[in-house]
A and B are shown apart, each in its own frame.
Chain A
Amino acid sequence: MSAVIAVRGLRKEYKVHHKEGGFLGSVKSLVNRRYSTVTAVDGVSFEIAEGEIVGFLGPNGAGKTTTLKMLAGLLHPSGGDVSVLGFEPKQRHTDFLRAITLVMGQKQQLAWDLAAIDSFLLNRVIYDIPEDVYHRRIGELSEMLSLQQVLNKPVRKLSLGERMKCELALALLHQPKILFLDEPTIGLDVNMQRAVRDFIAAYNDRYRATIMLTSHYMDDVEALARRVMVIDGGRIAFDGDLHRLIAEQAPKKVLRLKLIEAQPAARLSQYAELRRLEDLEAELLVDRQRVAETASRLLAELPVADIAIEEQPIEDVIGALFKTAPDRKTVPSHQPVTT
């Protein structure tokens, strides 16, 4: 399948002004300004096929948002090549802008002092959407995101969740082929997060849109992305199937126990690394190859009411990957999987 996004050796460097704190620092800065160059994205390469949903993960300051902004044409790269639908994003060609969208959790397209529908009307004209198509899309988006009661309210009166859903709907009104979603569920409650996730999945399914998603909520990534890219220190630390990431980066599984009688921590630690112990519930981290044997021993030797074998939470896996990422040679990078 051909790639709709192709990135080769992408780099972005920022010049950062350093200033010491306090009044003296301000005076020194006035006389002698010191700058340093920060490499936010350091030679990133990947390809994404049409219709893929890719989770883009990394700690704060890893280079995720900078990469998305370069792909959306907001930032000019310091080096490397980027092609999105055959366009060079920094040229901001009209046809390119009509085919993409970038949703950023904190930045808004909605006019703050007007009803949300006014911003939809403006985008209808800007993207030259015929009247009947516009009404059909508004209907679809309202239905998928439950916006019927929201669109005619002033934006400043909307809750954060309502506003985020409106932002998302507005960003998709022109039916873009490529979606860059930067923390689309940030600040939302659990129900609203789920609604937005379901909507993104449905949009991908219905329009075969290609989606790159960053999120600090692993539920978003697990629910939507088969493929993940992990970026740290501006470099890709992992690129591949989410489940393979867990299998390769998590050599242990979690044995979750419900006990009939409480057991001391020292006793449980004889079997494996004790991850958690609360009254009658315990979690042990066990090497994958010793899971079956350890489970049998626990059942035979301890008063166990119930036992479950689970993968390590993805947060832990990714967290462990961030810790090992500085030693790049030890972290495998994989060919992208296509759906």
Chain B
Amino acid sequence: MRTARILHVARIWRQLLVQYCAVAMAYRVQSLIWMIGGLMPIATMLIWVELAGNGSIGGNGTSYGRQDFAVYFMAMYLLRQATVMWSVLILDRGIRRGELAPQLLRPVPPVWAHMAEHLGEIVVRLPIILAVFVLGLYLTGTLGSLTFPNVLLFALALVGSWLIFFHLHYCVGLLAFWMDGVLSLEPLIWYFTVILGGGAIPIDLFPTAIRDVLTWLPFAATLDFPAQILLGKIDAALLALGFAKQIGWIVALTLLRQALWRTGLRRYSAMGA
């Protein structure tokens, strides 16, 4: 019985992914525009590489040379591209305009379809993102500096980043049950992510007191931590702590998402519902 249920869920997920990959293909021009818009980390990389020159920036064992900046910001490019989220928009439309209603009638949680919609987009854009990532590392002469275990661990941390980002955006989107202007919060998440997560400046380069706070926030767990893995700058203890923080944020945000969903659904009473 339990096996049958698991197989049924697996079939639903497969079909959802097939469907949303097809949708992403239908919107391939939009995907391309998004990818062009996502080149900011590469521009940031060029600035930092130029600033570093032939020396390094930082101190106390956290200095970054031009090669470090190249790897760090190419990792940023990959992370940002693979974690593009639009669930705030989906939920704003769904809750305020009633587009959620058809999904609520199906005997599967609507969040599955919303997750699959994002994953379908990644599947379609992944080959191009990976090609740009590898090409960027190659052109900066840093491709050879990566080690296989670090790449594997980076991939694992990327999954954690995706889950944190998804739930973070989803929780913000669910606020549409209570407020009208939830879309205005989306740029705020972006600013927090870029500034506090290491998207513009590696967390290591912040003053120590600030850095110690930032490393405990979800933003650093999603961007700076995976980039640090790829750089090979963290030891086993910090690696374990980093993954523990990721898991902690995933659990906390999942619980928050579930609580917001349950409470919000009781309020789902917009005239357009």
Contacts and interface: CB of A to CB of B under 8 A. Distances in A.
Given A76-B265, A101-B105, A125-B11, A113 B27 contact: yes
A12 B19 contact: no
B101 A107 contact: yes
Interface string B172-184: 0000000000000
Given A74-B273, A75-B268, A108-B102, A97 B107 contact: yes
Given A107-B99, A107-B101, A114-B26, A125 B15 contact: yes
Between B8, B15, B22, B107, the greatest number of chain A beta carbons within 10 A of the residue's beta carbon is seen for B107
Interface residues of B, number: 26
Contact of B266 (A76, A123, A128): A76
A113 B19 CA distance: 10
B16 interface: yes
A300 interface: no
A98 interface: yes
Contacts of A113: 22-23, 26-27
Contacts of A31: none
B188 interface: no
B22 A118 contact: yes
A69 B273 CA distance: 9
Given A14-B271, A125-B11, A74 B101 contact: yes
Contact of B12 (A75, A107, A108, A126): A126
Given A12-B269, A114-B19, A104 B12 contact: no
B112 to A, nearest CB: 10
Contacts of B22: 113-114, 118
Interface in B1-32: 8, 11-12, 14-16, 19, 22-23, 26-27
A123 B106 CA distance: 8
B23 A107 contact: no
B32 to A, nearest CB: 16
Interface string A67-97: 0010011111000000000000000101001
Contacts of B232: none
A94 to B, nearest CB: 4
A106 to B, nearest CB: 8
Nearest to A98: B107
Contact of B105 (A75, A97, A114): A97
Interface string B252-270: 0000000000000110110
Contacts of A14: 269, 271
A75 B269 contact: yes
Q: Dominant SS at the B interface? A: helix
A232 B44 CA distance: 63
B105 A102 contact: yes
Interface in B23-43: 23, 26-27
Interface string A110-121: 010110001101
B98 A107 contact: yes
Contacts of A69: 101, 273
Interface in A24-62: none
Interface residues of A, number: 31
A266 interface: no
Between A74, A97, A100, A101, the greatest number of chain B beta carbons within 10 A of the residue's beta carbon is seen for A74
A14 B273 CA distance: 12
A126 B26 contact: no
A113 B25 CA distance: 10
Nearest to B98: A107
A1 interface: no
Given A97-B106, A104-B101, A107-B102, A128 B19 contact: no
A308 interface: no
Contacts of B106: 97, 109, 123, 126
Interface string A249-286: 00000000000000000000000000000000000000
A74 B104 contact: yes
A190 interface: no
A97 to B, nearest CB: 4
A87 to B, nearest CB: 12
Contacts of B107: 94, 97-98, 126-127
Given A74-B105, A97-B105, A104-B101, A122 B266 contact: no
B108 interface: yes
B8 A114 contact: no
B104 A122 contact: no
A108 B97 CA distance: 12
Interface string A167-194: 0000000000000000000000000000
Nearest to B97: A107
Contact of B268 (A72, A74, A101, A118): A74
A114 B23 contact: yes
Contacts of A122: 15-16, 19
B153 to A, nearest CB: 34
Nearest to A15: B269
A114 B24 CA distance: 10
Contacts of A102: 101, 105
Contacts of B105: 72-74, 97, 100-102, 109
Nearest to B180: A17
18 contacts: A12-B269, A69-B273, A74-B104, A74-B273, A97-B107, A100-B105, A102-B101, A102-B105, A107-B98, A107-B99, A107-B102, A113-B27, A114-B22, A122-B15, A125-B11, A125-B15, A126-B108, A128-B8
Interface of A: 12, 14, 69, 72-76, 92, 94, 97-98, 100-102, 104, 107-109, 111, 113-114, 118-119, 121-123, 125-128
